[in-house]
Amino acid sequence: MTELNARQEEFAKALFEAYDTNTPLKEEEWKDVVTDDETAYAVQDAVVKLKGKPTAGYKVSLTSKETQDMFDADSPLYGQQVAERFLQSPADVDLQMLNEPLLEVELTFRAKEDLQPSDTLKDLFKDGEKLKEGVSSEVLGNPFKSLQWLVQKLAEQGKVFTKGQMVSSGTFVLPPKFTAGKWEVEFDSGLGNVVVNAK
């Protein structure tokens, strides 16, 4: 596991403070403190530890070529989330509690058992049906590939995607700015709708 230097530890504390007080950091004050993915994940682990709450799930980002190109990346990235960040639809959201929010359309999966890096996509499918229709294919070609990537990445870091944890698998389209109003997403294939009321 990557060890953080003093400045990186300070960065983790600043990130936690920003999270706790909903106050953004100034980019120029922290530029070049973290320059590689593994150190960034170690800083994230330190922030999660400061939160004092277990990781309830993950958000996978940069799952399409378009979003990777925007950030000069060649692979996805993940973020850890605590339970209160997952809301049940219909959800009410106070925009005053968010910093420059965007709205992303994604599929979320909840593990019914611990997942291992040796699990194949075939093992992850429900009743042998493959979810690869319409714009969901923007997520690494198939949203299940995002889940598979996460399980394998966590295993590389000595972590396990455990029973009950959730993963938001990556956006289908470039996200619009999240503004006040009623937002509704309609999914086909019997997946239902999601409603978010922003005020």
11: pLDDT strictly greater than 80? yes
Specify the pLDDT at position 140: 54
Nearest C-alpha neighbor of 33 from the set 61, 55, 11 = 11
81: pLDDT strictly greater than 70? yes
d(CA 73, CA 39): 16
Share of the chain above pLDDT 70, in %: 89
With H, G, I as helix, E, B as strand and everything else as coil, classify residue 50.
helix
Rounded (to 5) percent helix, strand, coil in the chain: 35, 20, 45
pLDDT band at residue 137, thresholds of 50, 70 and 90? very low
Specify the pLDDT at position 133: 34
With H, G, I as helix, E, B as strand and everything else as coil, classify residue 96.
helix
Other CB atoms within 10 A of residue 21 CB: 8
d(CA 59, CA 81): 7
Specify the pLDDT at position 178: 92
32: pLDDT strictly greater than 70? yes
55: pLDDT strictly greater than 80? yes
Specify the pLDDT at position 123: 54
